[in-house]
Amino acid sequence: MAFLEYLSIPNFFDAPLAISSIPSILAGFPVSFGLTIVSFALALLLGLLLTLAQLSHFKILHWAARSFISFMRGVPMLVILFVIYFGFETAAFPAAVIAFTVSSSAFVSEVYRSSFLAVGQGQWDAAYSLGLPYRKTVRKVIFPQVFRISIPALGNILLDLFKGTSLAAMITVSEMFMNAQIIAGADQDYMTIYITIAILYWFFCWLMTIVQTMLEKRLA
Protein backbone atom coordinates (compact mmCIF):
# COMPACT_ATOMS: atom_id res chain seq x y z
CA MET A 1 0.00 0.00 0.00
CA ALA A 2 2.89 2.36 0.78
CA PHE A 3 4.26 1.72 -2.71
CA LEU A 4 0.88 2.62 -4.24
CA GLU A 5 0.79 5.81 -2.21
CA TYR A 6 4.19 6.66 -3.67
CA LEU A 7 2.70 6.35 -7.17
CA SER A 8 -0.14 8.68 -6.30
CA ILE A 9 -0.16 12.33 -7.38
CA PRO A 10 -2.12 14.57 -4.99
CA ASN A 11 -5.33 15.95 -6.51
CA PHE A 12 -4.61 14.12 -9.76
CA PHE A 13 -4.14 10.36 -9.45
CA ASP A 14 -4.99 8.05 -6.54
CA ALA A 15 -3.09 4.79 -7.13
CA PRO A 16 -4.86 2.70 -4.43
CA LEU A 17 -8.25 3.72 -5.86
CA ALA A 18 -7.08 2.91 -9.37
CA ILE A 19 -5.94 -0.59 -8.38
CA SER A 20 -9.08 -1.32 -6.36
CA SER A 21 -11.33 -0.18 -9.22
CA ILE A 22 -9.83 -2.49 -11.84
CA PRO A 23 -11.87 -5.63 -10.96
CA SER A 24 -15.14 -3.67 -11.12
CA ILE A 25 -14.19 -2.08 -14.43
CA LEU A 26 -13.09 -5.42 -15.89
CA ALA A 27 -16.47 -6.90 -14.96
CA GLY A 28 -17.69 -5.12 -18.08
CA PHE A 29 -14.93 -6.52 -20.32
CA PRO A 30 -16.95 -9.55 -21.51
CA VAL A 31 -19.66 -7.17 -22.73
CA SER A 32 -17.14 -4.85 -24.42
CA PHE A 33 -15.33 -7.77 -26.03
CA GLY A 34 -18.58 -9.47 -27.03
CA LEU A 35 -19.85 -6.28 -28.66
CA THR A 36 -16.58 -5.96 -30.53
CA ILE A 37 -16.41 -9.52 -31.85
CA VAL A 38 -20.08 -9.82 -32.85
CA SER A 39 -20.17 -6.40 -34.50
CA PHE A 40 -16.86 -6.94 -36.29
CA ALA A 41 -17.88 -10.35 -37.62
CA LEU A 42 -21.14 -8.95 -38.96
CA ALA A 43 -19.32 -5.91 -40.37
CA LEU A 44 -16.93 -8.21 -42.26
CA LEU A 45 -19.89 -9.97 -43.87
CA LEU A 46 -21.90 -6.82 -44.61
CA GLY A 47 -18.76 -5.08 -45.84
CA LEU A 48 -18.12 -7.91 -48.31
CA LEU A 49 -21.68 -7.69 -49.65
CA LEU A 50 -21.31 -3.92 -50.03
CA THR A 51 -18.02 -4.39 -51.86
CA LEU A 52 -19.51 -6.88 -54.29
CA ALA A 53 -22.37 -4.44 -54.87
CA GLN A 54 -19.88 -1.63 -55.51
CA LEU A 55 -18.03 -3.76 -58.05
CA SER A 56 -21.24 -4.98 -59.66
CA HIS A 57 -22.09 -4.10 -63.25
CA PHE A 58 -25.63 -3.32 -62.11
CA LYS A 59 -25.72 0.43 -61.66
CA ILE A 60 -28.55 0.31 -59.12
CA LEU A 61 -26.55 -1.97 -56.80
CA HIS A 62 -23.41 0.09 -57.33
CA TRP A 63 -24.99 3.43 -56.48
CA ALA A 64 -27.05 2.01 -53.61
CA ALA A 65 -23.88 0.62 -52.01
CA ARG A 66 -21.92 3.82 -52.64
CA SER A 67 -24.71 5.92 -51.13
CA PHE A 68 -24.93 3.71 -48.04
CA ILE A 69 -21.17 3.79 -47.53
CA SER A 70 -20.97 7.55 -48.02
CA PHE A 71 -23.74 8.11 -45.47
CA MET A 72 -22.31 5.76 -42.85
CA ARG A 73 -18.80 7.18 -43.19
CA GLY A 74 -20.13 10.71 -42.78
CA VAL A 75 -22.39 10.21 -39.75
CA PRO A 76 -20.93 9.86 -36.23
CA MET A 77 -21.35 6.41 -34.73
CA LEU A 78 -23.03 7.93 -31.67
CA VAL A 79 -25.75 9.48 -33.84
CA ILE A 80 -26.39 6.12 -35.52
CA LEU A 81 -26.52 4.49 -32.10
CA PHE A 82 -29.09 6.99 -30.82
CA VAL A 83 -31.24 6.69 -33.96
CA ILE A 84 -31.43 2.92 -33.62
CA TYR A 85 -31.90 2.91 -29.84
CA PHE A 86 -34.33 5.79 -29.43
CA GLY A 87 -35.84 5.98 -32.92
CA PHE A 88 -36.64 2.29 -33.31
CA GLU A 89 -36.95 1.55 -29.57
CA THR A 90 -34.47 -1.30 -29.81
CA ALA A 91 -33.06 -3.03 -26.72
CA ALA A 92 -29.68 -1.63 -25.67
CA PHE A 93 -27.33 -4.48 -26.59
CA PRO A 94 -28.90 -5.28 -30.00
CA ALA A 95 -29.02 -1.55 -30.77
CA ALA A 96 -25.30 -1.29 -30.07
CA VAL A 97 -24.53 -4.31 -32.25
CA ILE A 98 -26.57 -2.94 -35.15
CA ALA A 99 -25.08 0.54 -34.88
CA PHE A 100 -21.49 -0.66 -34.64
CA THR A 101 -22.03 -3.15 -37.47
CA VAL A 102 -23.52 -0.78 -40.03
CA SER A 103 -21.05 1.97 -39.17
CA SER A 104 -17.98 -0.27 -39.35
CA SER A 105 -19.18 -2.10 -42.46
CA ALA A 106 -18.76 1.06 -44.53
CA PHE A 107 -15.08 1.28 -43.62
CA VAL A 108 -14.61 -2.48 -44.04
CA SER A 109 -16.13 -2.26 -47.51
CA GLU A 110 -13.69 0.46 -48.55
CA VAL A 111 -10.81 -1.69 -47.32
CA TYR A 112 -12.13 -4.68 -49.27
CA ARG A 113 -12.69 -2.58 -52.40
CA SER A 114 -9.14 -1.26 -52.46
CA SER A 115 -7.84 -4.77 -51.78
CA PHE A 116 -9.95 -6.23 -54.60
CA LEU A 117 -8.48 -3.65 -56.96
CA ALA A 118 -4.98 -4.46 -55.69
CA VAL A 119 -5.33 -8.12 -56.66
CA GLY A 120 -5.23 -7.22 -60.35
CA GLN A 121 -7.20 -8.20 -63.41
CA GLY A 122 -4.75 -10.97 -64.22
CA GLN A 123 -6.05 -13.11 -61.35
CA TRP A 124 -9.61 -12.82 -62.65
CA ASP A 125 -8.52 -13.65 -66.20
CA ALA A 126 -6.57 -16.70 -65.01
CA ALA A 127 -9.58 -18.00 -63.07
CA TYR A 128 -11.94 -17.45 -65.99
CA SER A 129 -9.52 -19.19 -68.34
CA LEU A 130 -9.84 -22.25 -66.12
CA GLY A 131 -13.60 -22.12 -66.46
CA LEU A 132 -14.36 -20.99 -62.92
CA PRO A 133 -17.67 -19.15 -62.53
CA TYR A 134 -17.79 -15.68 -60.94
CA ARG A 135 -18.86 -16.81 -57.47
CA LYS A 136 -16.28 -19.55 -57.26
CA THR A 137 -13.60 -17.21 -58.55
CA VAL A 138 -14.39 -14.72 -55.80
CA ARG A 139 -14.57 -17.38 -53.09
CA LYS A 140 -11.60 -19.54 -54.05
CA VAL A 141 -9.19 -17.20 -55.81
CA ILE A 142 -9.85 -13.55 -55.14
CA PHE A 143 -11.16 -13.32 -51.59
CA PRO A 144 -8.28 -15.23 -49.90
CA GLN A 145 -5.86 -12.72 -51.43
CA VAL A 146 -8.12 -9.81 -50.56
CA PHE A 147 -8.31 -10.92 -46.93
CA ARG A 148 -4.53 -11.24 -46.67
CA ILE A 149 -4.01 -7.76 -48.13
CA SER A 150 -6.72 -6.32 -45.89
CA ILE A 151 -5.45 -7.56 -42.52
CA PRO A 152 -3.51 -4.42 -41.46
CA ALA A 153 -6.40 -2.08 -42.28
CA LEU A 154 -9.00 -4.43 -40.81
CA GLY A 155 -6.92 -4.61 -37.65
CA ASN A 156 -7.15 -0.84 -37.30
CA ILE A 157 -10.92 -0.99 -37.76
CA LEU A 158 -11.11 -3.67 -35.06
CA LEU A 159 -9.15 -1.48 -32.64
CA ASP A 160 -11.37 1.52 -33.37
CA LEU A 161 -14.45 -0.64 -32.88
CA PHE A 162 -13.23 -1.95 -29.53
CA LYS A 163 -12.60 1.59 -28.31
CA GLY A 164 -15.92 2.68 -29.81
CA THR A 165 -17.84 0.20 -27.68
CA SER A 166 -17.45 2.76 -24.89
CA LEU A 167 -20.26 4.66 -26.63
CA ALA A 168 -22.62 1.88 -25.59
CA ALA A 169 -22.50 3.33 -22.09
CA MET A 170 -24.64 6.17 -23.46
CA ILE A 171 -27.55 3.73 -23.84
CA THR A 172 -26.98 1.93 -20.51
CA VAL A 173 -25.02 -1.08 -21.78
CA SER A 174 -22.94 -2.29 -18.82
CA GLU A 175 -19.55 -2.40 -20.51
CA MET A 176 -16.19 -1.25 -19.17
CA PHE A 177 -16.64 2.48 -19.61
CA MET A 178 -20.06 2.52 -17.97
CA ASN A 179 -18.65 0.66 -14.97
CA ALA A 180 -15.84 3.21 -14.82
CA GLN A 181 -18.34 6.07 -14.86
CA ILE A 182 -20.28 4.53 -11.99
CA ILE A 183 -17.12 4.17 -9.90
CA ALA A 184 -15.97 7.70 -10.76
CA GLY A 185 -19.34 9.12 -9.73
CA ALA A 186 -19.35 7.21 -6.46
CA ASP A 187 -15.80 8.20 -5.48
CA GLN A 188 -15.87 11.66 -7.08
CA ASP A 189 -12.40 11.06 -8.49
CA TYR A 190 -12.96 11.21 -12.23
CA MET A 191 -9.33 11.80 -13.20
CA THR A 192 -8.07 8.66 -11.47
CA ILE A 193 -10.77 6.43 -12.91
CA TYR A 194 -10.52 7.84 -16.42
CA ILE A 195 -6.74 7.39 -16.42
CA THR A 196 -7.29 3.81 -15.23
CA ILE A 197 -9.82 2.99 -17.95
CA ALA A 198 -7.54 4.61 -20.54
CA ILE A 199 -4.68 2.33 -19.49
CA LEU A 200 -6.96 -0.72 -19.66
CA TYR A 201 -8.17 0.15 -23.16
CA TRP A 202 -4.58 0.68 -24.26
CA PHE A 203 -3.53 -2.67 -22.77
CA PHE A 204 -6.23 -4.64 -24.58
CA CYS A 205 -5.52 -2.81 -27.85
CA TRP A 206 -1.84 -3.66 -27.41
CA LEU A 207 -2.73 -7.34 -27.01
CA MET A 208 -4.91 -7.24 -30.13
CA THR A 209 -2.08 -5.60 -32.05
CA ILE A 210 0.24 -8.46 -31.07
CA VAL A 211 -2.31 -11.00 -32.34
CA GLN A 212 -2.69 -9.02 -35.56
CA THR A 213 1.07 -8.97 -36.10
CA MET A 214 1.29 -12.73 -35.54
CA LEU A 215 -1.54 -13.30 -38.04
CA GLU A 216 0.15 -11.10 -40.63
CA LYS A 217 3.42 -13.02 -40.29
CA ARG A 218 1.63 -16.36 -40.53
CA LEU A 219 -0.21 -15.40 -43.72
CA ALA A 220 2.74 -13.58 -45.29
At 171-219, the pLDDT tens digits run 999 999 999 999 999 988 899 999 999 999 999 999 999 999 998 888 7
Average model confidence (pLDDT) for the chain? 89
Domain map (residue ranges) of the chain: 25-219
- What does the pLDDT read at residue 55? 83
Domain 25-219 has CATH 1.10.357.10: no
| pTM, to two decimals | 0.88
Asked if residue 2 has pLDDT above 60, the reply is no
Please work out, in degrees rounded to the nearest 5, the angle formed at the alpha carbon of residue 196 by the alpha carbons of 192 and 199. 140
Q: Indicate the pLDDT class of residue 49, thresholds 50, 70 and 90.
A: very high
The pLDDT value recorded for residue 8 is 58
The CB density around residue 183, as the number of other CB atoms within 10 Å, is: 21
